[in-house]
Amino acid sequence: MKVKILQNKGKFEILAIMPEKPLELIEIAGRVSYESQDKIEAGSAEKFVKKLRERGHESVLEHSSMTVFFSNVSRGFTHETVRHRIASFTQKSTRYVRDSIFKVIAPPDKDVDEELVTLRINKKNRKISFKISFRQWIDLNRQMYHGLIKAGWAKQDARQVLPIGIEAPIVVTANFREWRHIFELRCSKAAHWEIRRVMLDLLIEVQKRVPVVFDDFEIHSDFAEKPS
């Protein structure tokens, strides 16, 4: 089978944190509001940004941004991600790209080879029924997709049969304030298991790289919450 089932394989790569000195830019912009540019000195940016965050003056955080590449994630993951409208997205196109290997994300706690579901097909007045697994269903899906293309369907038409679990790499650029909003929603206990795990890993990393912007999120075993 030319099928690859991915479980707990979602990854991220931080491509850029912009500008080179994001805290310094936030301080410069923020001090315009307070007319206190004369107080800028070596090491003052971190203290100033922390004060902004604690006061809830998060709009100033929008002057710095981060670009992240997410891979081994599903189209379900990206459907949720692109709902964050104050961001830019570039995603793998199913209109133009045809993969020889079908990569599909499955829940991490499921046996994808257990034959659980009975399919029933009526063919020439004969009823055929058989049990299949998640992996077998995905392979049938793959056969239908590639078969439609072979029969002359355009990729953008054949893609209508693609499952929401199909792999869909995406690059996301958002300002720091929007990333805080993303973490607040996607790292919570109510978030979907796939996006929560990947975003939790990303949050842990950015807390190391830009702690003063993100270290007020409290990370528990499998979720994070923003202090009220």
Residues 75 and 15 in one domain: yes
Structure tokens at 97: 């790209």
pLDDT in tens, 5-54: 999 999 999 999 999 999 999 999 999 988 888 889 998 999 999 999 99
Q: Is residue 56 part of a domain?
A: yes
Supply the pLDDT for residue 100: 76
Supply the pLDDT for residue 2: 87
Give CA–CA dist 136/122, Å, rounded: 19
Supply the pLDDT for residue 164: 96
Residue 120 structural domain = 110-161
For 22, left (φ over 0), alpha (ψ -120 to 50), or beta?
A: alpha
Q: Is residue 1 part of a domain?
A: no
Q: Would you say how long the chain is, in residues? A: 228
Give the global pTM: 0.93
Helices (H), the chain: 22-34, 44-55, 75-81, 134-150, 155-158, 176-186, 193-209, 211-214
Helix (H, G, I), strand (E, B) or coil at 19: coil
Q: Please name which of 219, 152, 161 lies closest in space to residue 189, comparing C-alpha atoms.
A: 219
Residues 175 and 157 in one domain: no
Supply the pLDDT for residue 1: 57
Residues 29 and 121 in one domain: no
Structure tokens at 34: 């307070």
Supply the pLDDT for residue 223: 81
Given 136, 161, 186, which residue is the final one in a domain? Answer: 161
Query: For residue 35, what is the domain's CATH number?
Result: 3.30.1360.170
Residues 130 and 72 in one domain: no
- Kindly name the residue from 31, 177, 186, 196 that is annotated as catalytic: 186
Query: Residue ranges of the chain with pLDDT lower than 70?
Result: 1, 228
Residues 171 and 89 in one domain: yes
Q: Is residue 43 part of a domain?
A: yes
Residues 217 and 185 in one domain: yes
Residues 122 and 206 in one domain: no
Determine whether 186 is an active site residue. yes
